[in-house]
Structures are given as structure tokens and as C-alpha cells.
Amino acid sequence: MIAFFTKEYLKTEILDRDLAVIIKDSSLCREKSDYDDFYVVGKVEAEEQLKNAKYFVQKIEEFVKLVNE
């Protein structure tokens, strides 16, 4: 899904390419938490992930609203 989203929306610059960094970082964090034996996320990293997630959702909502107009 990430590869499709990146190919269709970010590489074509339909959406800002800065979203690719957010996707990459959040995916890496998720993989670490799933597969590392003792991965513990710190407060600062959790706050950063939350801030990025809110920004990502905002940009997607703006895009959907624009497309539906």
C-alpha cells in the first residue's frame, strides 16, 4: 500500500513529497515495534510520530476535499 501510495501520489507530485518522509519514518517505527525484541519508544519520538500523523491526515483531508469539489 505504501509503495502504491508513493508511486501514484508522491512521485507524481499530486501530494507533497514531504509526506514520503512521514510514511517512511512511521513504517520503520512500526516495524521496529513489531519485530525488535526490546523496542521501547521514547516520549519525544512518540510525540513526533503523533505530530507527523496529524499533519499527514490534515494533508490527505485537504486533498480529498479538493478532489470532491
pTM confidence score:
0.83
The predicted pLDDT at position 62 comes to 96
Asked if the model's pLDDT at residue 65 lies above 90, the reply is yes
Residue 10: give the domain boundaries.
2-68
Asked if the model's pLDDT at residue 66 lies above 90, the reply is yes
The domain tally of the chain equals 1
Find how far residue 51's CA is from the centre of its chain. 10
Asked if the model's pLDDT at residue 69 lies above 90, the reply is no
Q: At what angle do helices 43-68 and 18-35 cross, to 10 degrees?
A: 130
Instruction: Give 6-62 pLDDT, tens digit per residue.
Output: 999 999 999 998 999 999 999 998 888 888 888 888 899 999 999 999 999 999 999
